[in-house]
Amino acid sequence: MELGRRIDVLDYLRGFALLGIVLVNIGPLLEAQVPASGSVDAVYWRFLYLFVEGRFYSIFTFLFGVGVYLFITRANQKGKNGYVLFFRRIVVLFIFGLVHVRFHPGEALTVYAISGLILLPFYKCNRSINLTFSILMLMVIGYYSIKLFMVVPLMLLGMTAGQYQVFERLEEHKKKIAIFTGISFLLSVVGIIYQYQFAPTTFGTGSSLEYEKTWHFINLGITIGPIVSGFYVGFMILLLQFTTIQKILAPLKNLGRMALTNYLAQTAFIFISKWLLNAPITYTQTLFVCLGIYVIQLVFSTIWLRYFRFGPFEWMWRMVTYLKRMPIKS
């Protein structure tokens, strides 16, 4: 494979992950109202926690791990010190996160930066050991539903996928990916059906029973999250084997090529929406705000990349990483 060549499927997946992340982030940031029992809002809230929450964040985290492996490997192949460059890259990401967290409590960039450093010792580990260790960690941490601690094993799983060159040799792995997708689909169906049994039917009563049921429902979603995420990733990869699908979803690839810029911009758009609305908002209404953000970002990313090689924040990130000015125009 040509050094530095982008792997398109990773951009598609990053864009796909961003679509789901904003659906979940927007509710707390806009302080969406507690859904009324039996309302459309209640149905949508349950949909989010069955099919979105913990699923797309897991994909984004996994892809970060893939990116860590590719970045260090390609830097080393070009005769540069991949570890030094990666450390500098992580420091910049951490700084971005420190600024971002002031507007978006619970944001991912600072966590990713710290987790990325934890990941470094695993880079030269045997890929079979990394695979086993990452799966075991996910199982244990998933059992206890500790979402924050799942970041490292998800990243390690992504790094392991890089070691196995899964995304660089998709044609060779197509059959295995199809089998993986089928198995993860069946496990996802079982898991979601089980999780749904605990879906809250009442909201806002303040009873301890309601509180316990809601948190059990959410925690189950965290436990099965990586399985559902695995199905989403496998299904997307299989879809993208068709040229027609690639063309239809091309704007999604552009969204993913500017993942950092678009992730930060989502927070900005949410706060602009909050200022414009200046009124309480329901969960269903947050969906329409997200659709608006989708349109703006998909169109903007497509137009931007016609004239420029990188997104604005990606460009700054690269220049500080390599400590040199880089051309941005295509």
Query: Is 75 in a helix, a strand, or coil?
Result: helix
Domain spans of the chain, in order of start: 8-322
pTM for the whole thing? 0.95
Distance CA 24, CA 13 (A): 17
Distance CA 138, CA 134 (A): 6
- What's the number of CA atoms in the CB half-sphere (13 Å) around residue 65? 31
What confidence score (pLDDT) does residue 202 get?
82
Query: Is 329 in a helix, a strand, or coil?
Result: strand
- Provide the token pair at 125: 């580990």
pLDDT mean by block of 10 residues, the chain; 330 residues: 73 98 95 91 96 97 98 95 96 96 92 96 96 97 93 98 93 92 98 95 74 90 96 97 96 97 96 89 96 98 97 96 91
- The number of angstroms, rounded, from the C-alpha of 247 to the middle of its chain's C-alpha atoms is 22
Residue 308 phi/psi, 5° resolution? -130, 155
Query: Is 235 in a helix, a strand, or coil?
Result: helix
What confidence score (pLDDT) does residue 208 get?
74
- Distance separating the N- and C-terminal Cα atoms of the chain: 22
What confidence score (pLDDT) does residue 81 get?
95
Distance CA 137, CA 150 (A): 8
What confidence score (pLDDT) does residue 209 get?
73
Helix, strand and coil in the chain, % to nearest 5: 75, 0, 25
Distance CA 72, CA 8 (A): 19
What confidence score (pLDDT) does residue 169 get?
86
User: What pairs with residue 308 in β-bridges?
Assistant: 329
Query: Is 146 in a helix, a strand, or coil?
Result: coil
Q: Is the dihedral of CA 68, 228, 236, 109 positive or negative?
A: negative
What confidence score (pLDDT) does residue 1 get?
42
- The number of angstroms, rounded, from the C-alpha of 215 to the middle of its chain's C-alpha atoms is 22
What confidence score (pLDDT) does residue 172 get?
86
